[in-house]
Amino acid sequence: MASVCHRTTSCSRLLYALRVLRSHGISATSMSDIFRCTVLAKLLYCAPAWSGFCSAADRVRLEAFLRRCQRLGYCNSATPTLAEMFDEADESLFSRVLTNRNHVLQSHLPDRSSSQYNLRKGAHDKELITKTSQLNERDFIIRMLYKNCY
């Protein structure tokens, strides 16, 4: 995907700035904070919208970039994997959409399902949309509705 290539190239440029900061004697804690606020923020920007469209090769490239950053000492080894960060970003956005009736994505959610049965409470009360193509499986709303249906 072109955006993954563009993102890793753009983040590689930021690594040069981090290398300059390290040469000027910045502490490891500050380095980790700056890495998180610049590089990780750039990688995760709008991740719920585009992460579903990443191919396996794109995910491998992003994970390799993150491992390289860990090896170079820009972030610590406790940094979660990119897949975990993508899942966290998805969950965070989806919970905000569900709880905020005025959220702009609220209108894209399906109607509430009605049931005559007294079932256990699920993660959401929305009706599931029928998956029709590979594109639908990559869509944020459909992906999160099926992920959180149980």
pLDDT of residue 150: 41
Sequence ranges of the domains in the chain: 2-79, 86-147
pLDDT of residue 135: 55
pLDDT of residue 41: 92
pLDDT of residue 131: 60
pLDDT of residue 118: 60
Q: Which residues of the chain have pLDDT under 50?
A: 150
Task: Write 59-67 long-range contacts (CB < 8 A, 24+).
Answer: 59/83, 61/4, 61/5, 61/8, 62/4, 62/7, 62/8, 65/8, 65/11, 65/12
pLDDT of residue 124: 57
pLDDT of residue 33: 92
pTM of this structure: 0.70
